[in-house]
Amino acid sequence: MRLNASLADVARTAGVSQQTVSRVATGHGQVSAATRAKVLDAMRAVGYRPNSAARALRRGSFQAIGVAMFDITATGNIGLLEGITEAADAQGYAVTVRILGKDVRTLAQVEIALAHLPIDGIIVVMERELTDLGTFTPLLNAPITLITALPVRSCSTIDADQAQAARTAVDDFASHGHTRIAFLPGPDWSVASQIRRKAYCARMRQLGLEPLLLPRGDWTADYGYRLGKQIGGDVRSGRITAIFAANDNMANGLYQALIEEGLRVPGDVGLIGVDNALSVTVPHLRLDSLDQHFTRIGRQAVDITLHAAQTQQRTGSLPAPVHRLIGMDLIRRGSVGPAPKH
Amino acid sequence: MRLNASLADVARTAGVSQQTVSRVATGHGQVSAATRAKVLDAMRAVGYRPNSAARALRRGSFQAIGVAMFDITATGNIGLLEGITEAADAQGYAVTVRILGKDVRTLAQVEIALAHLPIDGIIVVMERELTDLGTFTPLLNAPITLITALPVRSCSTIDADQAQAARTAVDDFASHGHTRIAFLPGPDWSVASQIRRKAYCARMRQLGLEPLLLPRGDWTADYGYRLGKQIGGDVRSGRITAIFAANDNMANGLYQALIEEGLRVPGDVGLIGVDNALSVTVPHLRLDSLDQHFTRIGRQAVDITLHAAQTQQRTGSLPAPVHRLIGMDLIRRGSVGPAPKH
DNA sequence: ACGAATACTGTTAACGTTAACTGTCAGTGT
DNA sequence: ACACTGACAGTTAACGTTAACAGTATTCGT
């Protein structure tokens, strides 16, 4: 009851040795044209498919990397996954996805969750904060790359530059003459949102302005909408003239509520969001947004991880961790204008 | 330069045989409590991690399934992937994703793209039509499940019931007294859109109504918006009183454009979309939509695939293919009302 | 015509794991 | 006291592949 034909089967029908078949299959080593043709015919005849388990065992590599994330449906994660699969494909690697439960709170747990998978390296999308970043040392010998802006000693990291993004938004508003610039944070568990909040506050103070923190949202458009209805008065009175929202969904909700309140965007209030992800969903979008370049981050994460994996295979030890931040770009669609005069 | 400790290393430090260590690692077979403790200590000491390549080679299974899709960012595919990873996880299987290039046009090519991956079964998300569905016979011995509503003999299939969805939309409009019901199709390459179109036309004729096909769109909100601006007159004149759009993005564009044209939804025109996916992105959403239950489809696809894989492992041959359609549900948010009187 | 390089093919021995079998010892029932 | 059972541990072989080495035939330069 053999499920798959093996090298031995091909070798038998072709009348050559296993090694010759292997040479044809891998392309390594010399084989005469006649023999190659004979082997290829035999392969077709018996329906040979290389057994990747045996290959992996022999070569010590699976040609696959693992990706761990908490929520596959989150806006950014899809972009990341896109970049990761794209870059991995280009290098002939497959991508194995593992969704982490909310009970996972440490990097060590993430490692355990992926320990038994057939993979050569790991990319962890760290939307939530893990508690052992300072003390963590890898158990596995597979290289680990974290997608986070937090500092970690023992692993490579890469992320969008959340702090630079917040500064860019504040500066953009300020350069239009705004001084009453508010920030709408995302949920507390989001590392990205926290960094944005801190950088926002710091920059505001640097410019001699007072930070104006709105109550933190849940990333949804409905939250932004409800909040917009509440703060309409503050905008009308000029207590707020610009809002930096931690994501586009909430910004879009704000936008619509403020318009419905009879306010003009950007006339009465400027708006900047983050993600640059709504243009397919929302028609005629007029919302300035910071593009996180998720696919680019995903691609680079793969490059870092595979470079480490290959170095390890050659030399036996991992290269020193690298840490990268990718700058965000402000995409202008006309939701920021000169500050209103009151 | 050993990268990973092996059973042999553990056996040596624990002073037992490899097989005993294996028994502890897998939990199969009898081991005394004292020996087990000794082995577990040794495992910790040398940092043992089971080698999944060797396991897979020995057991003939990777505990992983492959998923092939054309576009990971497409609305439905994310939901599918969510359901797939969830169900696979629950059965202890990992999910490996492979993105297909646009040059892939046959199932045979898909098979080749996944042939070398460490997987036990394959799920193909068939957004685009593949040309060899009638003639295809699997080369690999891994079970293949297609996510498509098209008929295929040689593989199991599952999908949302696109035809039933179109009928549901038409019937819902009709039951509100509408007769001038238009359909806005998606791009021609989309199998789902084509089935919806055909079923829409058939149902309209069944009800004695004339099909009203709008020029096909590209799934984006902007397209819907532009079209909405164009057909405002038709709505005002009563030539169109209801529109069934092939996805929510286009429906949302229509909605906004028609509102801007001074028309009332649902007063002047009823609207139904497909996907039920906008509620996070768009605030205060008032769009009736057919939910495809993507996560449910993903889960069932995994069940079908793993059942086949396990049957094959036990008996040596695959079970007969199954074919399932999952009904869509109409989620009402108030974009359909009584037909206007003209 | 000679040794040397080259092209090609075969043999052997692992990679780490586990199924199947063999052996030992203590406990049980008669 | 006997065979008999079950709990436990060890030995052997194999899963399919490929690196390293060992051959043989062919070609080349002198």
Report pLDDT digits (tens) over A70-79: 998 888 899 9
Residue A86's pLDDT band, with cuts at 50, 70 and 90, is: very high
Q: What is the DSSP code (8-state) at residue A281?
A: T
Element of type H or E holding B306: helix B294-315
Mutate to test the interface with A, among B281, B294, B317, B318 (most CBs of A within 10 A): B281
Arithmetic mean of pLDDT over chain A: 91
Question: Is any atom of strand D within 7 angstroms of residue B57's beta carbon?
Answer: yes
> By the 8 A CB rule, do A224 and A250 touch?
yes
**Angle separating helix axes B294-315 and B75-90, nearest 10 degrees:** 40
Please tell me the distance from the alpha carbon of residue A13 to that of residue A16, in angstroms, as a whole number.
8
Nearest chain B CA: its distance from A208 CA (Å) = 34
Q: How many Cα atoms within 13 Å fall on the side-chain side of residue A178?
A: 31
One-letter identity of residue B331: I
Check residue A140 and give its pLDDT.
73
Residue A222 contacts B where some CB pair is shorter than 8 Å: yes
Residue by residue, what is the 3-state secondary structure of A27-76? CCCCCCHHHHHHHHHHHHHHCECCCHHHHHHHHCCCCEEEEEECCCCCHH
Residue A342's pLDDT band, with cuts at 50, 70 and 90, is: low
Burial class (CB in 10 A: 0-12, 13-18, 19+), A134: exposed
Question: Is any atom of strand C within 7 angstroms of residue A24's beta carbon?
Answer: no
Residue B245 contacts A where some CB pair is shorter than 8 Å: no
Residue A37 contacts B where some CB pair is shorter than 8 Å: no
Averaged pLDDT for residues A173-191: 96
Check residue B342 and give its pLDDT.
65
Nearest chain B CA: its distance from A262 CA (Å) = 15
Nearest chain B CA: its distance from A110 CA (Å) = 14
For residue range A218-262, list pLDDT tens digits in order: 999 999 999 999 999 999 999 999 999 999 999 999 999 999 999
Check residue A2 and give its pLDDT.
44
3-state secondary structure of B116: coil
Check residue B153 and give its pLDDT.
87
Collect the ranges in chain B with pLDDT lower than 70.
Answer: 1-3, 342
Residue of A nearest to B280 (CA): A220
Taking the CB of residue B206, how many other CB atoms lie within 10 A of it?
11
Question: In degrees, to the nearest 5, what angle opens at C-alpha B165 toward C-alphas B163 and B170?
Answer: 100
Check residue A234 and give its pLDDT.
96
Cβ–Cβ of B225/A284 closer than 8 Å?
Answer: yes
Q: Which two tokens stand for residue A312?
A: 């390890």
Q: Is B256 left (phi over 0), alpha (psi -120 to 50) or beta?
A: alpha
Residues of A whose CB is below 8 A from B85: 72, 97-99
Which pTM value belongs to this model? 0.87
Q: What is the DSSP code (8-state) at residue A284?
A: T
**Tally of helices (H runs) and strands (E runs) in chain A:** 11, 12
Residue B220 contacts A where some CB pair is shorter than 8 Å: yes
3-state secondary structure of A268: coil
Check residue B1 and give its pLDDT.
32
Q: Are strands A212-213 and A156-160 parallel, antiparallel or unpaired?
A: unpaired
Beta-bridge mates of residue B146? B124, B157
Residue nearest to nucleotide C9 (CA to C1'): A20
- How far apart, in Å, do the first and last CA atoms of chain A sit? 84
Question: Is any atom of strand D within 7 angstroms of residue A58's beta carbon?
Answer: yes
For residue range A92-140, list pLDDT tens digits in order: 888 999 999 889 999 989 988 888 788 889 999 998 888 888 888 877 7
Question: Is any atom of strand C within 7 angstroms of residue B25's beta carbon?
Answer: yes
> By the 8 A CB rule, do A114 and A66 touch?
yes
Residue B117 contacts A where some CB pair is shorter than 8 Å: yes
- Provide φ and ψ at A202, rounded to 5°: -60, -45
Interface A–B counts its CB contacts (< 8 A) at 175
Residue of A nearest to B66 (CA): A96
Check residue A1 and give its pLDDT.
32
Cβ–Cβ of A253/B283 closer than 8 Å?
Answer: yes
Q: What is the CA B30 to C1' D4 distance in angstroms?
A: 20
